[in-house]
Structure 1
Amino acid sequence: MFSIVIPLYNKAQTIARTIDSVIKQSFTVFEVLIVNDASTDNSLEIVEQYKIDERIRVYSLESNSGAGAARNYGVRKAKYSYIAFLDGDDTWKEGYLEKMKEAIEKYPMSGMYCCAGLHETKTGLTYRIAKKYMSKITPVNYFEDPLVFTQTSAIVVYKEVFDRYGGFPSELRINQDYALFFTIGLTETVVYCGFPLSTYYIGVAGQNTSLFSIKRIECTQFVIDRINFVYKNWIKYKKENRLFTIFNKYEIRHNFYAALKKNDHNLVNLFLTQLDCRILNNFSAFEIFLYKKKYLNKMGIAYIMLTKIIWKWSKLVNRGPSKIDKLKVNSRKALVWHN
């Protein structure tokens, strides 16, 4: 039923813990595809030892290509219809796949299934969960709270849907996961499982995908590239979603806010010059004027704070999905058990 794709790059300290969490799953109809992305430590040596389990297959790329490319490769090798993503330094609780199977059985026509989870740091654990959906399995408007719904190691995607949108976009160096999941969230029914059954570890040695390790100007460009990518897909697929337009403006304003607070007009100008002009056209000339003028920093910050209040209010009044397709029983439902 599940093809579990794990990209691997220099995770010698954590990959055994990750694989062990998969082997201990209460639901056992799965395969594991580990894609070694030219690791330079002994990660490959460690995972090779797990091949005694016939469900586990290991592949190696000739050169380091990034997590997105490694995941795409793994999906191409997958034999099952549901792709579960897991990073080499994260883990699942024993009932994770069982709960995702339950969600698929309940809503078989959905394109993506998201699960709540935990964040673990050196100082402790925090929950990543949408409180109003706690202990529920339900369709959601993905853009009601995409930053809470999204964690790569807690997402399952129907393989046909993954292929339909081309997988993780290779043209993006970072944020490929958000680019793909946001696109799917625009176009497909998304189901949320309000059970914290995955753990994302922060501050792990070798965690070189973190945006915190990248220069601010470069990090901002990656975010802009992803925002432009998703917006172009929104235009391409012509999907009406009021919460997406609200969230898109909220996220951009949040970046303006961070730049204005630091009095960093290099970042402000980067957004103003690199964002798709169709996105900027959604902002009033007055608002753009506030951001352009250094002497209006405080007014720009105050304006953004006001829009944040409006955003939070919109989340309260838009409690359900904007549109949920009727779930019809068809041949796809059989895939839940026979694939």
Structure 2
Amino acid sequence: MFFSIIIPLYNRPQEIKELLDTLTLQTYRQFEVLVIEDGSVNDAEAIVNSFADKLQVRYFKKPNEGQGFTRNFGFERAQGDYFIIFDSDCLIPANYLEIVNNSLAANYLDAYGGPDGAHDSFTPTQKAISYSMTSPFTTGGIRGNKKAIGQFHPRSFNMGVSRQVWEKAGGFIITRLGEDIEYSIRIHSLGFKIGLIPDAIVYHKRRTNFLQFYKQLHFFGRARINIYKFFPEQLKLVHFFPAAFTLFVFITIILNILHWPIACLGNIILTLIILLIFFHAWWKNKSAKIAILSIIAAFTQLIAYGLGFMQDFWKRVIFNRS
């Protein structure tokens, strides 16, 4: 099978170099790479072209439209039987394409997703953020977990679709705010077979500090409401959990300020949550420092998502504003 790897890029020249370095090490060699610069000010043309003797790579520039429509640009120019999309801040294990090719040969999927994790080279903060984004206590195991409950929706940091999917479903119809979830749901609705390839892991750097992480997760909370506007049935009770958690934290803080005795119950619950995250993260990463940072990452994730969710729920669902 011949793969087309499609990578949208926006002002990340160093990160695309690191990603392309990992692709030169792939044990399965039947692939091309399309890098699409999405209106970057700091472009990576020279860096990408420096890989011309190591990879079958093509570089494109276009005006800024966002990652969804930039992937469509790549789909339209791809030559492969199967399209794979990565975020530009990923590192790809050397056997990734071999795993995917063997898996599709044994059990063909029209579209697939894979999990993400933290590379040994990541900073403690990046490892803590990676833990938070994959922890059962924050995401419920929906991002590449074999035991996740409900319909599996591949995410665009590590996602593949066949040419047949693109020909029938088209590409992304929104460019931001949950575009990959909308696409996954639409692929499901057309009867295509979608599944998880659990060993097709990528190492996802994500945001490098907690402020950037907060902004990203606030955006994700808003994206869930955007998905609701397309598919109301996809808004589940579990999606309200970060908002409920956020309200619980704020109410507990206010009760402590007012010295109300009931605040003790909230303090006990929060302490138990903190201890649970700490010891689980310590067990996963074998580092007390990362475990402490994981507490910060988990609270940042849940509160940022909760606030973004409540903001757009109030504006777009209650008041029906666009």
Superposition TM-score, scaled by structure 2 size: 0.65
The answer to whether 1:248 aligns with 2:232 is no
Provide the C-alpha distance between the structure 2 equivalents of 1:270 and 1:259, rounded to a whole number of angstroms. Answer: 15
1:152 partner amino acid: S
The answer to whether 1:90 aligns with 2:90 is yes
Which of 153, 160, 163 pairs up with 2:157?
Answer: 153
Aligned to 1:253, what secondary structure does the other structure show?
helix
Superposition TM-score, scaled by structure 1 size: 0.62
CA-based RMSD: 3.5
User: Any idea what the Cα deviations from partners look like across 1:229-288, whole Å, max 9, x if unmatched?
Assistant: 244xxxxxxxxxxxxx6x7313432254145334699965842663499xxxxxxxxxxx
Provide the C-alpha distance between the structure 2 equivalents of 1:106 and 1:129, rounded to a whole number of angstroms. Answer: 29
2:316 partner amino acid: Q
Sequence identity percentage:
20
Provide the C-alpha distance between the structure 2 equivalents of 1:114 and 1:219, rounded to a whole number of angstroms. Answer: 18
Distance 1:258 1:142, change over 3 A: closer
Distance 1:153 1:23, change over 3 A: farther
Which of 182, 192, 198 pairs up with 2:196?
Answer: 192
Distance 1:4 1:255, change over 3 A: same
Aligned to 2:52, what secondary structure does the other structure show?
helix
Provide the C-alpha distance between the structure 2 equivalents of 1:79 and 1:143, rounded to a whole number of angstroms. Answer: 35
| Aligned 1:1-339 pairs, distance under 5 A | 1-53=2-54, 55-61=56-62, 63-108=63-108, 110-119=109-118, 122-123=123-124, 125=127, 128=134, 144=150, 146=152, 150-170=154-174, 172-186=175-189, 187-195=191-199, 197-204=201-208, 212-213=214-215, 216=218, 220-231=221-232, 248-258=235-245, 260-261=247-248, 262=250, 268=310, 270-271=312-313, 274-275=316-317
Q: Which residue number in structure 1 is paired with residue 256 of structure 2?
A: none
1:192 partner amino acid: L
Q: How many residues align?
A: 246
Aligned to 1:41, what secondary structure does the other structure show?
coil
Provide the C-alpha distance between the structure 2 equivalents of 1:271 and 1:191, rounded to a whole number of angstroms. Answer: 30
- Deviation, 1:51, is 2.6
Aligned to 1:93, what secondary structure does the other structure show?
coil
Provide the C-alpha distance between the structure 2 equivalents of 1:83 and 1:151, rounded to a whole number of angstroms. Answer: 14
Aligned to 1:5, what secondary structure does the other structure show?
strand
Q: Which residue number in structure 2 is paired with residue 133 of structure 1?
A: none
Segments of structure 1 that go 5 or more residues without pairing to the other structure are: 131-139, 232-244, 278-339
- Deviation, 1:145, is 6.6
Q: Does the Cα contact within 8 Å between 2:83 and 2:163 map onto a contact in 1?
A: yes
- Deviation, 1:213, is 1.9
1:194 partner amino acid: P
Q: Which residue number in structure 1 is paired with residue 140 of structure 2?
A: none
- Deviation, 1:129, is 9.3
2:199 partner amino acid: F
Aligned to 2:13, what secondary structure does the other structure show?
coil
Structure with greater strand share of residues: 1
Q: Does the Cα contact within 8 Å between 1:85 and 1:153 map onto a contact in 2?
A: yes
Q: Does the Cα contact within 8 Å between 2:222 and 2:308 map onto a contact in 1?
A: no
2:159 partner amino acid: I
Aligned to 2:42, what secondary structure does the other structure show?
coil
Distance 1:58 1:182, change over 3 A: same
Q: Which residue number in structure 1 is paired with residue 296 of structure 2?
A: none
- Deviation, 1:224, is 0.7
- Deviation, 1:54, is 6.0
2:239 partner amino acid: I
- Deviation, 1:73, is 0.3
Provide the C-alpha distance between the structure 1 equivalents of 2:230 and 2:238, rounded to a whole number of angstroms. Answer: 14
Q: Which residue number in structure 2 is paired with residue 305 of structure 1?
A: none
Provide the C-alpha distance between the structure 2 equivalents of 1:64 and 1:82, rounded to a whole number of angstroms. Answer: 25
Provide the C-alpha distance between the structure 2 equivalents of 1:176 and 1:64, rounded to a whole number of angstroms. Answer: 16
Provide the C-alpha distance between the structure 1 equivalents of 2:101 and 2:38, rounded to a whole number of angstroms. Answer: 29
Q: Does the Cα contact within 8 Å between 1:84 and 1:157 map onto a contact in 2?
A: yes
Distance 1:165 1:60, change over 3 A: same
Q: Does the Cα contact within 8 Å between 2:225 and 2:309 map onto a contact in 1?
A: no
Provide the C-alpha distance between the structure 2 equivalents of 1:267 and 1:59, rounded to a whole number of angstroms. Answer: 35
Provide the C-alpha distance between the structure 1 equivalents of 2:308 and 2:197, rounded to a whole number of angstroms. Answer: 40
Aligned to 1:101, what secondary structure does the other structure show?
helix
Distance 1:59 1:195, change over 3 A: same
Distance 1:272 1:38, change over 3 A: closer
- Deviation, 1:89, is 1.3
